[in-house]
Structure 1
């Protein structure tokens, strides 16, 4: 039960510390992060829109890409609006319920995104290494089952973890040294014995991130071997171009999240995590649509067709 052990009264809210060292630049930071947020939402929305409306992109690869863009937009929307309020108005309080809801949404979306990254790697593996069997293997039923498995696994793991965290006692201080309610700083704030909860959180996050990473490494190792055996340089370049965008995106995600989550108990305040979390919640969702659109000819063509339709409709 979440109680203040000093006086027995329930804790009603936490305080998100944000970035105190640069809080005096609040209006400037608000403008920068607002622009980044709007650009991220717009870019990912464009990818989802052209994937849904362009029949040439009704393939498993773009189906997974549109879902990934949706997850990225949702993750950003769960975190950045509150950060903008902190920068602009200095309102750092967040209710207990809102904090746990934000923690659940962000971790669930993040975990689903990592598992989806592994599925996208498997999709590229089948497309390049087993091209003749690709249509029969990666059919609509298989795609839906894979997505459902990603979401169901994330939901079960994260729900059980948050239920465990909700049983901890919080006796003060109530300042979360982060700009959103992340699971690590929240556990670190508890005055209960958190060893079992920390071990559970470490096990779940390690399982999600490392299993996704291992699947991705195995898939792309096989892809690399297959590409080197292709007879012509043009075929090798075409095969690599379909994977390069995905590799850039996942390197950004794995780099920041492994640093944040895949480590044992923290003995000091997790201040250094904020910069890595900012990369994962602001920079990566902003760069994803740029990377995919700049390096994909089919997306270029779909964008041109969409712009032409918009001009004609006027």
Structure 2
């Protein structure tokens, strides 16, 4: 019995037509070496183990440089250098400027506090109860002090040095007059013809000592104390004459009662010791004259910077005259007398 067609092997060549795997569509999609799929992956296939992990090679070190000095550890109080020298210098200059401005502000604050205390003191009637302290006389002396003087309290701080210098100048002029009196006394003891000079030296001590204090030092003191243009003008007028007198004292005209250069040279022929004393007095007078001229110029420059003027001095003088009760009383009496005489006239 012949074997039927269906009994044959479908995968043999005779069964090409019936082999489904020979279909061109299937052949086209068979796996190949270029396309690896899960169908061709065999987990049991022996494979080479993966390479072991090796760390990357370290980077090459930089070439060795010159050995540096060990760093100095800063102390807690030592400032650190955060910038260049120029930056530090500018910072130091700025700091110094700030300190200077702070000092000026502190001085102005002290001055304002002082003036405020003065105003409060005056408002409470302190001016009437304030005790005079100059000249500094003992308590048992029958003559009491005539003025109140306190440069540190009454004079603004920027003018205190000038006022103190003028006070020392007045004291030096008084001492020079006393030495002049002693020199003229010694000269009179040697030569009785110098009696007029000795008498005038006594007069100068008694006259110039109080008059110089009242006539030019006190106006200068009150001018700086209250910024008074009137007192400034009084001081300039009188102290200019005082400077002229200082120059005459230094020259020492014989017979005028001044032991200046000329008088000392004249006495040098008679007595050397007395001439040396008179030369010392002449040198003292010369120093006072120079200092007086310098201080006059200095106070004049300060006066110009304060904004004072002659018109302001006139206004102060007029206000002072009309505010004086004695002047007002005298003016009222004069006006009443003139009116009464006018009515009585026929």
Normalising by structure 1, we get a TM-score of: 0.35
Q: Flag the structure with higher helix content.
A: 1
Name the larger-Rg structure.
Answer: 2
Q: More relative contact order in 1 or in 2 (CA 8 Å, sep 6+)?
A: 1
